[in-house]
Amino acid sequence: MLAEKIACLGVNHQTAPVEIREKLAFADDCLSPLVQIKEIVGCDECCFLSTCNRVEVLLVGKAGDATIAAARDVLFADSGLSGAEAAQYSYLFTGSAAINHVFRVAASLDSMVLGEPQILGQLKDAYRLAIEHRATGAILHRLLSKSFSVAKRIRTETSIGGNAVSISYAAVQLARKILGELTGKTVLLAGAGEMAELAAEHLVAQGVAKVVVANRTLERAVTLARRFNGEAVVLGELASRLADADILISSTGSPDLILRKEAMTPVMRQRYHRPVFLIDIAVPRDLDPDLNDLDNVYLYDIDDLQQVVVANKGERRREADRAELIVAEETIKFLHWLENMELTPTITELRRRIDVLRDIELNRTLAALPGLSPEEKKAVTMMGTALVNKLLHYPLMFLKNSGAIEQKRANLSIFRKMFGLDSDHGSGDER
């Protein structure tokens, strides 16, 4: 069955801690792994998705053990992990489970922050890249397009997106839990991307007194800081600016640490050891884990945000349960589409062969009746076509509505044998 050709292999926040996920971070280079996976023997179609909290490859083809192992090797190529460790930290869904998983990812039911909207845009970007490089075909086109409409339906029919949250919002909630009210605080944002912008929006809503944006590109930092009446600095000033900041939220795309323990030690002396709260929401991590060894430095990474996320999930669980029912319904619909797609070649071949036989017999009959007028010949031809259609009606209805998947598979095999569709004979004169 076509459903069995679909597989999803990946790593996410549920299967691997941040120190493992950061080894798999592909940053802005999703093209290279996509091209490598496309060339794997047994892969007919593929799409590659990489976000802060997940790396996934969606495959269509003869996804046997060798194909899956090759795809996993691409994901873990630069991780330094053994094959056994790669298998331990990854998951594999096939068939209907893979379809269900893709729908859940698109609807953010599988996200760290339930109901966050960013994943849908990221999945669309991954799909667009796969199309541009001719990595997709009929099945992935349909599956991913359907995942987008499923996500839209869930947003429309449930309130899972109500009071929308994100990793950035969870970071702000954690800051409030540690520091209390944020009114009058100074916040330093490292990175001027979408994550930093979302964090700034939430922080301003909480009444922070000052926002300072540090970014490698000063122009981008100025643009973001202006939105919040803040101040922009270059990323190289990060350590010195920490002397006055109460909170640092770091979300750069740097492949290396931007703040190490040895750089923070003199800063803490300048602060007279006043507590400072550091939140690292970047993958790979921006901030040195050893910073936690310093007195009055409180460092939290993206996995620590899970505690805040749990509370959000509790509020959204009822709507999520409704969303899961929609996903289950849409998964069944997609399986039916695949089943009908599998029947199409059989139905097409049967009609072709029947039409050949009909034309042979009509030509013989008309040749034996030379005295017929054009109107009478047309009537005989129409009768032959009508008779074929009526005879095929119930067999085709039986084929399309033959129960469970296993039963359909058995009936399809019998149907093809009954009409000789797997034989080289049957398209000509049977007499």
- What are the structure tokens assigned to 279, written together? 């939140």
How is 15-72 classified by DSSP, letter by letter?
TS-HHHHGGG--TT--HHHHHHHHTSTTEEEEEEEE-SSEEEEEEEE---HHHHHHHH
Which residues have CB under 8 Å from 391's CB, separation 6+? none
How is 329-395 classified by DSSP, letter by letter?
HHHHHHHHHHHHHHHHHHHHHHHHHHHHHHHHHHHHHHHH-TT--HHHHHHHHHHHHHHHHHHHHHH
H-helix or E-strand containing 278? strand 276-280
Residue 52 catalytic? Answer: yes
Which residues pair with residue 214 across a beta bridge? 190, 233
Asked whether the beta carbons of 69 and 167 are under 8 A apart, the reply is: no
- What is the chain's alpha carbon radius of gyration, rounded to the nearest angstrom? 30
From CA 13, how far away is CA 45, in angstroms rounded?
26
Catalytic residue among 8, 30, 46, 52: 52
Which residues have CB under 8 Å from 34's CB, separation 6+? 46, 47, 48, 129, 130, 133, 135
Instruction: Report the relative pairing of strands 297-301 and 6-12 from DSSP bridges.
Output: unpaired
Asked whether the beta carbons of 191 and 253 are under 8 A apart, the reply is: yes
Pick the closest to residue 140 from 296, 289, 338 (CA basis). Answer: 338
**Which residues are known to be catalytic?**
52
